[in-house]
């Protein structure tokens, strides 16, 4: 192990930093910027909420017809960046992307507030609203009526999760005079994590 890297496993260090962020970051400590490359070879980035992580990777959920989902399906590789201003820390995660299982999507979908579940039916994510915001409100009302009396509306087929499966996880911590601490875990061909310090 190289000097001063305190963990052999990046997930253990992520959990330590994320737990601290949950205690100190006022708004959405699970927020991450996810970048991908679309079919035209152009970069695209969105802020999303990370909705779970384990040794397989980091999950988030979206409309599979959205621009970001289309980019991830066309080029299934992404980077995500967590930045916690209150901690002066950030983490970059990069790797291949896969859709999560239907069971995982169902589990998270069913944990959401009912109105959020109705919203997943109503939103034609990334498409133009011909008549402005009224279009969304009307569609929400239609689906709310369709599922009137239904305590648990089913998950629409166009909505589900992605998992970023890290090949690299980079940690950055602010230091005085811009001499920041920056180190990276890289997964080798055997699935083991190699560690290196990076110049800031």
| 42 noted as active-site residue | no
Task: Look at residue 63 and tell me if it is in a domain.
Answer: yes
- Residue 71: give the domain boundaries: 10-113+156-197
Task: Look at residue 133 and tell me if it is in a domain.
Answer: no
The pLDDT, as a whole number, for residue 8 is: 84
pLDDT tier, 52 (very low <50, low <70, confident <90, very high otherwise): very high
Residue 184, token pair as written in the block:
């990276």
Q: What DSSP string runs through 38-64?
A: -TTS-EEEEEEE---EETTEEEEEEET
Question: Exactly one of 92, 114, 178, 187 is catalytic; which is it?
Answer: 178
Summarised one tens digit per residue, pLDDT across range 88-137 is: 999 999 999 999 999 999 999 999 999 999 999 999 999 999 999 999 99
Task: Look at residue 65 and tell me if it is in a domain.
Answer: yes
Task: Look at residue 60 and tell me if it is in a domain.
Answer: yes
Report the domain count for the chain.
1
Summarised one tens digit per residue, pLDDT across range 34-51 is: 999 999 999 999 999 999
C-alpha 126/C-alpha 199 separation (Å) is 39
Which CATH number characterizes residue 31's domain?
A: 2.30.110.10
């Amino acid at each position: 192990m190289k000097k001063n890297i305190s963990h052999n496993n990046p997930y253990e260090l992520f959990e330590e930093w994320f737990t601290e962020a949950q205690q100190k970051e006022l708004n959405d400590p699970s927020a991450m910027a996810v970048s991908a490359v679309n079919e035209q070879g152009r970069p695209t980035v969105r802020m999303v909420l990370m909705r779970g992580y384990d040794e397989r990777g980091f999950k988030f959920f979206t409309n599979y017809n959205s621009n970001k989902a289309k980019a991830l399906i066309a080029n299934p590789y992404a980077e995500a960046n967590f930045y916690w201003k209150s901690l002066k820390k950030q983490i970059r995660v990069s790797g291949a992307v896969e859709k999560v299982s239907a069971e995982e999507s169902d589990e998270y979908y069913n944990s959401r507030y009912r109105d959020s579940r109705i919203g997943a039916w109503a939103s034609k994510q990334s498409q133009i609203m011909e008549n402005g915001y009224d279009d969304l409100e009307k569609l929400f009302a239609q689906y709310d009526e369709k599922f009137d009396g239904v305590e648990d509306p089913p998950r629409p087929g166009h909505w589900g999760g992605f998992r970023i499966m890290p090949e690299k996880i980079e940690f950055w911590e602010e230091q005085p005079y811009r001499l920041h601490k920056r180190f990276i875990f890289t997964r080798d061909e055997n699935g083991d994590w190699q560690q290196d310090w990076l110049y800031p």
